[in-house]
Structure 1
């Protein structure tokens, strides 16, 4: 991976004054970091451009990389169920990721998820800032520590900030709720642990919905 000083960052590819569809199209040409080389395609976002709630995840997974849309794999199903349990209409939220390309390690024919580096999050952040400026959500939900770093502009521990209403680091200072990523729930083998983690995600989504008011 290139050193931070050598990485141009996505700002060189983010068009000024672009509409959301134009932003999605421009992201296909982004070379702000090296992840585009191995990924199948850019995975930008899905959802209404005037959504009141924006959900920000970490990065696309294997299924998302192949289909070109965020949250369509197993973690997306967990998220959809949690939204429904929280009383949030899944069709009325905007889904995106902090990093727009899939970072993975190849093991034989399998592609194993690899966490994005801080440099990837930093390089890709101009896309997220542009999305927030265009969608102008009433609340942002950061799903996981990587998403929280991108939205808030600093590292946080989920357990320390859950239940708090924070502000995004961009000029809009959008109210932000940090919660766990649904993929972390899938990794829990104990049924009781999984249920408690799901309940926590639902509670955080319900808290975010209350802020829309």
Structure 2
């Protein structure tokens, strides 16, 4: 694991989501800021009942500075709509706030965040959860699951199930939308993803 200092010293003790967004660009908790174009904060209502947590920004998100606006974000929008979820009513964020990538020619290829990056960035996510206090968290993919559920948790074995985060917050887990974008059986996997989100709506009603 990389020995990063972590983000805790950069997270403001007050100021709500606005304070977090203002402080994020100054974060030097790990090395990802050095090559990123933008830090990408979470977006959505401060009192959203549902929070969706993904892995990290992608190439488009890094360039634009907004969460879930690339190919995976467009697919997520379609899936949310199919599940009856209004994007503007949920809070969207990532476990890691900067884009980790490797260059191949002119292209920037996604590289999975290391455990050190996930740990270093955790104070931001903890702060978001503490401010929003969602009634339900939807965990998108293995990296997000590692960040909020713990190591060793397997998304494929528990997707769609009702679980609890370590702090007791109700949650459910599904794949990251980028996995559906890359799928060789897109129609099937998109349908399963929508089913998981519909299940999340059901869980929210009883949360």
> What TM-score do you get using the length of structure 1 for normalisation?
0.93
Match of 2:124 in 1: 127
Question: Match for 1:36 among 27, 33, 37?
Answer: 33
**SS of residue paired to 1:45:** coil
RMSD: 1.1
Q: Any gaps of 5 or more consecutive residues in structure 1?
A: none
Distance in 2 between residues matched to 1:51 and 1:155, nearest whole Å: 29
**Deviation per residue, 1:158-177 (Å, 9 max, x gap):** 111112211123x3x21111
The number of residues matched between the two structures is 205
Aligned partners of 1:88 and 1:163: how far apart in 2?
16
The answer to whether residue 194 in structure 2 is matched with residue 202 in structure 1 is yes
CA contact (8 A) 1:14 1:126 kept: yes
Supply the distance in 1 between the matched residues of 2:130 and 2:200 (Cα, whole angstroms). 19
TM-score, normalising length from structure 2? 0.95
Shift of residue 69, structure 1, vs aligned partner: 0.6
**Kept after mapping to 1: 8 A contact 2:160/2:200:** no
Task: Mark the runs of 5 or more structure 2 residues left unpaired by the alignment.
Answer: none
CA contact (8 A) 1:148 1:155 kept: no
1:18 lines up with 2:41 in the alignment: no
Q: Is the 8 A contact 1:58 1:146 kept in 2?
A: yes
* Counterpart selection for 2:42 from 42, 45, 50: 45
2: distance between equivalents of 1:164 and 1:209? 12
CA contact (8 A) 1:145 1:155 kept: no
Are positions 1:8 and 2:12 aligned together?
A: no
